[in-house]
Chains A and B, each alone.
Chain A
Amino acid sequence: MPSFNILKYGMNKFVAIRYIDALYYTETVLDYTVFPVHITVGNLIDLTQDILISFTERNGEPCEGLRIPKKALVLNEKKEDTLSDLSFRVGLDIGLYWKDVVHFTDCQIPEACTPMYSEGLLLEVTSDAYIIKDPNTIKIGKKIANHPLDGKPTFIVIPKSFVTDIKFYDNKL
């Protein structure tokens, strides 16, 4: 049984939301400056844990939409950096656990945002992102799968606000 209340369904709470997402690059030279802001319009189903929005419903049931971590929303507020400063780790290997935006289809509503794990060389720490070079990224869940499935990214840019935990490769720190 999904964790959200099925009684919340109904095409009656239309919202427009701005959000950011992690970026994957396959080019050898990184061309990142800022996270592009995505805008989505849909019916708000649930906001208990994440923002659950449907674009399309079939016979009254949400059929396609997005599950977006609340921290991915672009809101007019001061973002607090709750994680420790990792700039001293630049040039070293690191592993980051983070939550990803999920696009659902075929009325298969995800019960949570996809937990992800990315590891590789910490290339840069910006005010809002961690940039990992030659990353290996996996989806953590019932079935662990590489992500993205097609092509090996050369860089991944992860919003700091998405990160839930950090793993260091050595025990000196």
Chain B
Amino acid sequence: MTINYKKGDTVLVTYKRVNYTHIMKSVGVVFEVSDKEVVLAHNFTGLTPIDTTKIALDKIIESKGIIPTNINSPDDLKSLKLV
């Protein structure tokens, strides 16, 4: 299942690569979208993306919107529990 991509949304995209032998998952902010591909930006300086991933729409298995946890304080950091 895929979603309608909207610039600025944070999404998790599952897609196939390399003759379908690799299942990839990529998280990022929708930076560009066309009828053929979506570009996810993983980090920014201001509005300028630093690292991006371009994904062909026909390789996408699943997409879903996510809401990342903002880390703004030391308490936010302490509250993260990895299991």
Contacts of B29 in A (CB 8 A): 41
Stretch at the interface among A43-51, A84-92, A147-155: A43-51
A57→B76 CA distance, assembly (Å): 25
A-B contact pairs, 14 of them (CB 8 A): A18-B71, A18-B72, A36-B45, A38-B50, A41-B42, A42-B27, A44-B82, A55-B26, A56-B26, A57-B25, A64-B53, A70-B77, A75-B72, A75-B76
A22 interface residue per 8 A CB criterion:
no
In addition to A16-B70, A56-B42, 20 A-B residue pairs with Cβ atoms within 8 Å of each other are: A5-B82, A13-B80, A14-B12, A15-B70, A16-B10, A38-B43, A38-B50, A39-B43, A40-B44, A41-B10, A43-B27, A44-B82, A55-B27, A55-B42, A55-B53, A56-B25, A58-B23, A64-B51, A73-B77, A76-B73
A18→B29 CA distance, assembly (Å): 15
A9→B28 CA distance, assembly (Å): 18
A141→B67 CA distance, assembly (Å): 37
Contacts of A11 in B (CB 8 A): 12, 25, 27
Q: Which residues of A contact B (CB under 8 A)?
A: 5, 7-8, 11, 13-18, 36-47, 55-60, 63-66, 70, 73, 75-77, 103
A41-B28, A55-B27, A66-B43 known; A14 vs B66 contact (CB < 8 Å)? yes
Nearest Cβ distance between residue B41 and chain A, in whole angstroms?
Answer: 8
Contacts of B40 in A (CB 8 A): 55
Q: Which residues of B contact A (CB under 8 A)?
A: 10, 12, 17, 22-29, 40, 42-46, 50-51, 53, 66-74, 76-77, 80, 82-83
One of A41, A63, A70, A76 near B72 (C-beta < 8 A): A76
One of B53, B71, B83 near A17 (C-beta < 8 A): B71
Nearest Cβ distance between residue A32 and chain B, in whole angstroms?
Answer: 14
Contacts of A60 in B (CB 8 A): 23
The residue of chain A having its C-beta at the shortest distance from the C-beta of B23 within the complex is A59
Contacts of B44 in A (CB 8 A): 38-40
Q: Are B69 and A8 in contact (CB under 8 A)?
A: no
Which of B10, B68, B74, B83 gathers the greatest number of chain A CB atoms within 10 Å?
Answer: B68
A86→B71 CA distance, assembly (Å): 31
A5→B40 CA distance, assembly (Å): 28
A74→B83 CA distance, assembly (Å): 25
Contacts of A64 in B (CB 8 A): 42, 51, 53
